[in-house]
Structure 1
């Protein structure tokens, strides 16, 4: 029996998608067509589908991407350079970025904080950041601001982060304590938690 062309193409597409070996076409003397995956030298075969190369690993075997720094490798060098220039731990900058923008360089808060490290317009202007959506400029500005706050609060990281979130004047107005604002009360432990996890991850043997 002859197989219509459209039917044959449909069969070939299905077999080619599912098969794990080459598919051959055999045309008999009466014109009938047979498809087979068995290669025989005593028959005239025409290969109509080639086996797809096997994947190196099945999806379930692929190791997941490590959390933290590895999640945003495109910014790793920017963060590392800013951390070096301002003598800060790179893990701290990553922790702030993770909490502030989750690595979205175009993040914009309702209050106007923008970029990876969510710089407010006045703060960015004071820091000399002309384009808050430029990742390198934003991270350098954020690192410079963190360094300034650390000096202001005698390297107290909790107060520094509270000031980064609520403003240094607010922290000073509350007696150099974390202001009782829900957002700031959540923000400080969130950054510290990311920071501690990233530090621990950096110490693990590779």
Structure 2
């Protein structure tokens, strides 16, 4: 009987492992202390973590984050060097950074925007970078220009559309200039 239950459990796990998740669906995993792995389509408690994501230690050097940045940059067709420049300016590579306005994580995503992007773990490097890169991709698609996309990332797309350009907000103008300067220094672009 135990052998049959074990075979059934292994079969179920193999089927779940092989099944692709539906777009937008997250599978959560929990490794219990007794060695049993639990999978769920809901986060049942704080110990359940998204099954397929990149975890990065809290104290990490910027060059080590480049693997995550490259992966999501390429996946969403955003130049990884632009993403690196954004992370450097946004958070200074501090994974648990929080701005005075409440933006969170490496890419300084506002909680409301994070909810819209499905970001459940703003202080996990992989999910934060992935959400920020997806948002930047949307801004690039909308404006077709890196500077305008950066302005929209910082001030919001409504403000860029309303002003028909980079808004006259000192913080936003400074942000765009800093990111583009760092990006240009790394890529040789001006």
TM-score normalised by the chain length of structure 2? 0.66
The offset of 1:100, in angstroms, is 0.2
User: Counterpart of 1:92 in 2: which secondary structure?
Assistant: helix
**Partner in structure 2 of residue 113 of structure 1:** 103
Name the CA distance, whole Å, in 1 between partners of 2:66 and 2:176: 23
Match of 2:178 among 190, 202, 206: 190
> Where do 1:25-174 residues align within 5 Å?
72-153=62-143, 155-174=144-163
The farther-off stretch of 191-200 and 160-169 is: 191-200
Name the CA distance, whole Å, in 1 between partners of 2:70 and 2:167: 31
Name the CA distance, whole Å, in 1 between partners of 2:63 and 2:167: 34
Name the CA distance, whole Å, in 2 between partners of 1:111 and 1:189: 21
After superposition, the C-alpha distances for 1:75-97 in whole angstroms (9 at most, x for unaligned) are 11110110111011110000000
Please tell me the root mean square deviation across aligned C-alpha atoms, in Å. 1.2
Name the CA distance, whole Å, in 2 between partners of 1:156 and 1:189: 14
After superposition, the C-alpha distances for 1:102-157 in whole angstroms (9 at most, x for unaligned) are 1000100111100000000011111111010000000000000000001111x211
The offset of 1:74, in angstroms, is 2.1
Task: Give aligned pairs, total.
Answer: 129
The offset of 1:198, in angstroms, is 1.3
Question: Unaligned regions of 5+ residues in structure 2, if any?
Answer: 1-60
**Partner in structure 2 of residue 64 of structure 1:** none
TM-score normalised by the chain length of structure 1? 0.61
